[in-house]
Amino acid sequence: MAAGAAAAALGREGGEDAFRRLFRLYRQRDAADLRGVLDFSAPGGQVFRSQLSVSSVSDQDACRAGLQPVSRWKAYGLKGYPGFIFIQNPFLPGCQHHWVKQCLKLYTQKPNVCNLDLHMAPEKTADLWGQSKEKLRMKGSGKCEPRSLLEKLRWVTLGYHYNWDTKKYSANHHTPFPSDLAFLSEQVAAACGFRGFQAQAGILNYYHFDSSLGIHVDESELDHSRPLLSFSFGQSSIFLLGGLKREEAPTAMFMHSGDIMVMSGFSRLLYHAVPRVLPNPEGTPLPSCLDQALCSDLPVDSVIEHTSDDDWQVCAKYLRSSRINMTIRQVLAEGQKFPEEAGTDTESQAPSEDSHHQNSRAKRHKPNIDS
């Protein structure tokens, strides 16, 4: 049975854990028939145009964040998923370079937390970019070459650092949230009708062609009335959006470089997953949107910085086989505080390395930590 037909049959089948059955189907390396996957570049069927709050974001502020005027965004909703908004690459030419560079060069620095901290000495993870850039720049296409530290990176947490083991945030495990990423998130949230959104926590996921993201619900934030924002860069992926129960079969859709997803309202607490990362459908090593030069008329107070040719050479080599996803959350409502927790400290917040991010080439690793 072709993959598209198989997906449709599994969706109709329902029953116990229909989500996992579809996850496994799309996870297969030989699942070449992806006709059952929604592509928002050619929307139809259950897809409809979503109305945005154009007046909530000035063209100047959108440009400062490296975004087109909101009136030009192509935003879509899905029937049966109220509160879900898909925005097809609204970034100005060349501006994705900034966010890729930040995710690889700046956001990986201390005091932010990453999976490599769990089994490496602090001095070894202090400058992942510096220790990896030459190896990445010179790296060939051989699969047997040892991976640089950046290629071993699976996740980074920002702001309130998520504890993967307890699935909680806490007041005493917090570092400053990046101001440029906060500004970008605030503009996107406002355009989707959420003025006053505060970017308080970020989880950055780093995928390769053998990576996936397991089936889960993002429910650890104390305020579920605020949206979850998801930004993707690099290679494409299949994203599965399900229901409130895993017995409900999910809808599969493509996410390409520059695409943004917003999950709010009913869709805020739905099961979702990424079963597979796919090569750029254009057939080139990188999507064409990543080959564009930075637009020359950004305002002087833009949060977007020019990415040097040397830095982009490293980023581009990394992205030839990788995808980066930034998910941004507001953890607390206005004036809300964390409940008192006895005996919590920073060290007890250490997560397991792969409790959220999966890799088909290695068994899930649980470090020997006292948590």
Peptide bond into 43 cis (omega under 30): no
Bridge partners, residue 86, by sequence: 76, 261
Sequence-separated (6 or more) residues with CB below 8 Å from residue 227: 83, 189, 192, 194, 197, 262, 263, 264, 268
How buried is 305 (Cβ within 10 angstroms: 0-12 exposed, 13-18 middle, 19+ buried)?
middle
Query: Token pair for residue 9?
Result: 């049959």
Which residue numbers belong to the known binding site? 216, 218, 272
Cβ proximity of 298 and 285 under 8 Å: no
Return the closest-CA partner of residue 201 out of 223, 179, 177, 233.
177
Task: Name the helix (H) or strand (E) containing 11.
Answer: helix 3-13
Which residue numbers belong to the known binding site for Fe cation? 216, 218, 272
Going 36 to 37 to 43 to 46, the CA torsion angle's sign is positive
Radius of gyration, CA atoms only, the chain: 20
Angle between helix 3-13 and helix 18-27 axes, rounded to 10 deg = 170
C-alpha–C-alpha distance, residues 247 and 238, integer Å: 19
